[in-house]
Amino acid sequence: MNVSSGENTNPVSHFILLGFPSTPEKQLLYFGLFSVTYTLTLMGNAAIACAVRWDRRLHTPMYILLGNFSLLEICYVTTTVPNMLANFLSTSKSISFVSCFAQFYFFFSLGCDEGFFLCIMAFDRYLAICRPLHYPRIMTRQLCTGLVIFGWSCGFIIFLTPVVLISQLSYCGPNVINHFMCDPVPLMMLSCSEDTTTQLIYSSLNSFFMISTFVFILCSYALVLLAVVRMPSESGKQKAFSTCASHLAVVILFFGSVMVMYVCPGSGHPVEVQKFVTLFYSVITPLCNPLIYSLRNKEMKAALRKIFRTERSVHKI
């Protein structure tokens, strides 16, 4: 895919996102399907964030982290889906060079933040279940606030380096990306100058982040499960298992699909497989998360019912 710089010296000013090539009728069908998916994702995650904000019973570290995670999901899915929807109705399907790398930066920074939030939530559950007597003293409001700030900001700091390095590569044509978003792997393939150092830095950073966060979460929940098994109360076991099962389901959905794509970006996945896997963790997973957390949590279900009853009462008035 790489082209020598001597063949074409005109710098690329925009890229073409092919998305899902098909007939105009299917493009409209895709537009309707993903519009509904996007709307449900926004509504579900916004409902959880509002429930945490308005219900004082949910003003605990676990639910504060969950509310921030839901807001993060809204930002995460918004980095790609609106542009994808616009391309379904567009004939040019172009995106400017700056917009492409801005999408790349925000999408992967927010995805990195998701991984950190899942680690923080696993740490919170470890303290609550394995160190219940020390939990109020350790997980103070100050620590919770610091962890939230860390979760939101760290991804933007970490992913600044690979985005800058990849954007500095030479792009002189072709400019067609067979994807629905500005993914770094096809971007590096379009570069006129093959930079193995940049590819190594990018893949090493991804591998380190994915593996370290995933191992941290697994170790945290292994300790949690050992503590749950030793609990004398059956009701306590069921509540702890229910909470942990929700977290683990989200962890498996997110890390399972992401690690397939980005731990070994040079492994040569077929293009359609790349699109499907990316679609899964960028669109489907944020849609599933509110369902997973709300359906398995009695306090969250009660808070959501309270919100919906209030909304109905306001509309009646």
CATH number at residue 96: 1.20.1070.10
**What's the confidence (pLDDT) of residue 5?**
41
Asked if residue 93 is part of any domain, the answer here is yes
**What's the confidence (pLDDT) of residue 293?**
73
- Residue 294 belongs to what domain range? 14-316
> How is 132-198 classified by DSSP, letter by letter?
TTTHHHHS-HHHHHHHHHHHHHHHHHHTHHHHHHHHTS---S--EESSSS--HHHHHHH-SS--HHH
Residues 148-177, mean pLDDT to the nearest whole number: 92
What is the per-residue pLDDT across 111-138, written as a single tens digit (0 to 9) for each? 999 999 999 999 999 999 899 899 999 9
For residues 180 and 93, what is the distance between their CA atoms, to the nearest angstrom? 9
**What's the confidence (pLDDT) of residue 247?**
80
**What's the confidence (pLDDT) of residue 262?**
61
Asked if residue 3 is part of any domain, the answer here is no
**What's the confidence (pLDDT) of residue 259?**
75
Residues 262-284, mean pLDDT to the nearest whole number: 73
What is the per-residue pLDDT across 15-73, written as a single tens digit (0 to 9) for each? 999 989 889 999 999 999 999 999 999 999 999 999 899 888 889 999 999 999 999 99
Lowest mean pLDDT among 90-94, 162-166, 272-276: 272-276
Asked if residue 299 is part of any domain, the answer here is yes
Asked if residue 211 is part of any domain, the answer here is yes
Strands 176-177, 14-17: pairing is parallel
For residues 250 and 290, what is the distance between their CA atoms, to the nearest angstrom? 10
Asked if residue 6 is part of any domain, the answer here is no
- Residue 17's H or E segment, with its range, is strand 14-17
CA neighbor of 159 nearest in space, from 115, 193, 190: 115
pLDDT band at 311 (very low <50, low <70, confident <90, very high): low
Asked if residue 9 is part of any domain, the answer here is no
Asked if residue 242 is part of any domain, the answer here is yes
- Please list the residues that pair with 176 across neighbouring strands: 16
| In contact, 270 and 64? CB cutoff 8 Å | no
Instruction: Find out whether the peptide bond into 186 is cis, omega within 30 degrees of 0.
Output: no
pLDDT of 212 strictly over 90: yes
Strands 94-96, 176-177: pairing is unpaired
Instruction: Quote the pTM value.
Output: 0.88
The SS3 call for residue 297 is coil
Q: What is the dihedral of CA 91, 183, 100, 76, to 10 degrees?
A: 100
pLDDT band at 271 (very low <50, low <70, confident <90, very high): confident
End-to-end CA distance of the chain, in Å? 62
For residues 108 and 183, what is the distance between their CA atoms, to the nearest angstrom? 9
**What's the confidence (pLDDT) of residue 3?**
45
Q: What is the domain count for the chain?
A: 1
Asked if residue 81 is part of any domain, the answer here is yes
Q: What percent of the chain has pLDDT over 70?
A: 89
